[in-house]
Amino acid sequence: GRALLVLLLSATVSLLGGLIFGYELGIISGALLQLQIDFQLSCFKQEVLVSSLLIGALLASLVGGILIDRHGRRRAILVSNLVLLFGSLILTLARSFIGLVIGRMTVGFAISVSSMACCIYVSEMVAAHQRGLLVSLYEAGITVGILLSYALNYIFADVAEGWRYMFGLAIAPTAMQFLSILFLPVNPVKLNSWDSDSQKGLIQLQTMEDREVTKREPYKEKHYSFLDLFRTRDNMRSRTLVGLGLVLFQQFTGQPNVLGYASKIFHSVGFQSNSSAILASVGLGAIKVVATLVAIAFADKAGRRALLIAGCVVMAISVTTIGLTSCTAPLAMARDCKAAADSNASHGYTQHPVMPASSRPPVSHFPPALGAGRSQAGPGFAATRVAQSRGVVTDSSHIQKVGLAGQSEKETVESTGSPVSGVPFTEHMVLNWITLLSMMAFVSAFSIGFGPMTWLVLSEIYPAGIRGRAFAFCNSFNWAANLLISLSFLDLIDAIGFSWMFLLYGLMGVMAVIFIYLFVPETKGQSLEEIDQQFSRKR
């Protein structure tokens, strides 16, 4: 009975932790549309407000690991909940831009600490054959949180100061997680740690003789310093290589930018109205939820290594297909906002002249390369940058729907030319649909592989004495790599072109497959102590 209670409460903590993370990342997209009007935010201030969460998260990645290792995972989650409640109150009651920035930095710090502590705590709390399912629930929670934020953005879009409700509602799941973890024990409960049926058929780190010796030896927790991560002691350097390789390849395979330009692809295949683009955006989120559930179901059966390799292969094929199709049917890329302070230009750049509503055609079916698609390049573009650090779906077409005082209903962009490069219209549409399907495959593959499995493996491969600091170290590279890729994406497109950019992502996907095959071992069904001793014994 106690084991079942621990299992249910661990699942609740993991799911609510992910939901809070996803909600806080997604809610800013809708809130910004009201904030830029209420506070007269310039483009620079919008970017500062969006980036403030990232700064808080980076700071937490640098110091949160010490908190997790020295004061325990459970206490770290409780503290992060209190900090998140405090940050949400600051945002809800904010009367100035500085208050908003401080509130978002506080929230960013809290969700970053919580994300690390939740994965580690849950991985230590449950049995080996349940660990994949429980830790992967966190990733599912992130996607559900994003979809919930979309719904609340839509509901409060026309409410006066609706952004206060958007920020304030984060208090509810935070309080629920706080109460749930109070009923969980401080120290991990050891359930069937050595004798799990699911250990059969593993890709072994060592021989069967070594495994028998490992089982007979009592496990003694060791103490480590941060610098041990880069030393050969207990093979820590190799573990750090595995952790950094996973988080960097997770970003360098292109997931932030594929999702960031989803709205362009939606418009290109005929989702011309904002409401239909929203539906497509939510549909993409639903696909991600389903794919994450598949990963949860198979994490403890197929194994982490198999799902990572399969996901990387599909991702590489998908982005390569997008790159090849865009050679023939290029997509127009919108620049980040430059003149949001100008109320007439706050909706971002357009590729062609804006036409009055009276002169627009009834329905346009031309792809965005012809100018029919609009891009919300202001707050939407900035907001997507933070929200994609964990692979969540954020779509600027959603932001078009809910904001800017009805501008999107009053303005349109008219097509001014013939199909690009002389490509027949029918062929152009076929290529764009191929691009859309490739993007759906990419999102699904990421949600099965890199999305949940990266954090699951990170929570398993390090010794307990340094697990928090090691996880935080790798997490800081994740945030930094995401920021670097997001900021350099448009400059790289200017330099080498959209098609070559995505072909480069495909090449990175192939390199990721090779890296995982050579360096990432299978850890399914093994206790954390067994994984640690196997790593310590063998390179």
State yes or no: pLDDT of 194 exceeds 60: no
The kind and range of the H/E element at 358 are: none
Whether 179 and 238 map to the same domain: the answer is no
d(CA 105, CA 99) in angstroms, rounded, equals 10
State yes or no: pLDDT of 202 exceeds 70: no
Whether 441 and 493 map to the same domain: the answer is yes
Query: For residues 382 and 335, is the Cβ–Cβ distance under 8 A?
Result: no
The top-scoring range by mean pLDDT among 104-108, 228-232, 368-372, 385-389 is: 104-108
d(CA 393, CA 413) in angstroms, rounded, equals 26
Give the count of alpha carbons within 13 A of 98, CB side only. Answer: 0
Q: Is residue 206 part of a domain?
A: no
Q: What is the pLDDT of residues 339-364, one digit of tens each?
A: 333 433 333 323 333 333 333 333 33
Whether 318 and 446 map to the same domain: the answer is yes
Query: For residues 150 and 282, is the Cβ–Cβ distance under 8 A?
Result: yes
Q: What is the pLDDT of residues 421-447, one digit of tens each?
A: 455 667 777 887 888 888 889 989 998
Q: Is residue 490 part of a domain?
A: yes
The 10 Å CB-count burial string (b at 16+, else e) for 498-517 is: bbebbbbbbbbbbbbbebbe
Checking phi first, is residue 336 left (phi over 0); if not, alpha (psi -120 to 50) or beta? beta
Whether 48 and 150 map to the same domain: the answer is yes
Q: Is residue 438 part of a domain?
A: yes
Q: How many domains does the chain have?
A: 2
Q: What is the pLDDT of residues 484-527, one digit of tens each?
A: 876 677 677 778 877 888 899 999 999 999 999 998 888 888 88
d(CA 260, CA 27) in angstroms, rounded, equals 16
Supply the CATH number for residue 315's domain: 1.20.1250.20
Q: What is the pLDDT of residues 119-156, one digit of tens each?
A: 888 888 777 787 888 888 888 899 899 888 878 888 88
How much of the chain, in percent, has pLDDT values that exceed 90? 23
Q: Residues near 385 by Cβ (< 8 Å), separated by ≥ 6?
A: 50, 51, 54, 256, 260, 482, 483, 486, 487
What's the whole-number mean pLDDT along residues 9-37? 88
Q: Residues near 333 by Cβ (< 8 Å), separated by ≥ 6?
A: 261, 264, 490, 493, 498
pLDDT category at 1 given cuts 50, 70, 90 is: low
Whether 284 and 174 map to the same domain: the answer is no
pLDDT of residue 399: 41
Give the structural domain span for 86: 7-184
Identify which of 328, 336, 337, 321 has the alpha carbon closest to the alpha carbon of residue 367: 328
Query: For residues 429 and 33, is the Cβ–Cβ distance under 8 A?
Result: no
Whether 311 and 238 map to the same domain: the answer is yes
Q: Is residue 99 part of a domain?
A: yes
Whether 244 and 180 map to the same domain: the answer is no
Query: For residues 33 and 379, is the Cβ–Cβ distance under 8 A?
Result: yes
Q: Is residue 403 part of a domain?
A: no
The last residue of a domain, from among 128, 153, 184: 184
Whether 143 and 287 map to the same domain: the answer is no
Whether 52 and 130 map to the same domain: the answer is yes
Whether 159 and 254 map to the same domain: the answer is no
State yes or no: pLDDT of 169 exceeds 90: yes
Identify which of 4, 23, 5, 42 has the alpha carbon closest to the alpha carbon of residue 386: 23
Q: Does the pTM exceed 0.85?
A: no
Q: Is residue 85 part of a domain?
A: yes
Q: Is residue 170 part of a domain?
A: yes
The 10 Å CB-count burial string (b at 16+, else e) for 19-29 is: bbbbbbbbbbb
The kind and range of the H/E element at 72 are: none
Whether 175 and 234 map to the same domain: the answer is no
Whether 23 and 120 map to the same domain: the answer is yes
Q: Is residue 221 part of a domain?
A: no
Among 166-180, 189-203, 328-342, 396-410, the range scoring the smallest mean pLDDT is: 189-203
Query: For residues 192 and 127, is the Cβ–Cβ distance under 8 A?
Result: yes
Mean pLDDT of the residues in the chain: 74
d(CA 435, CA 493) in angstroms, rounded, equals 18
State the residue for tokens 């198979």: 298
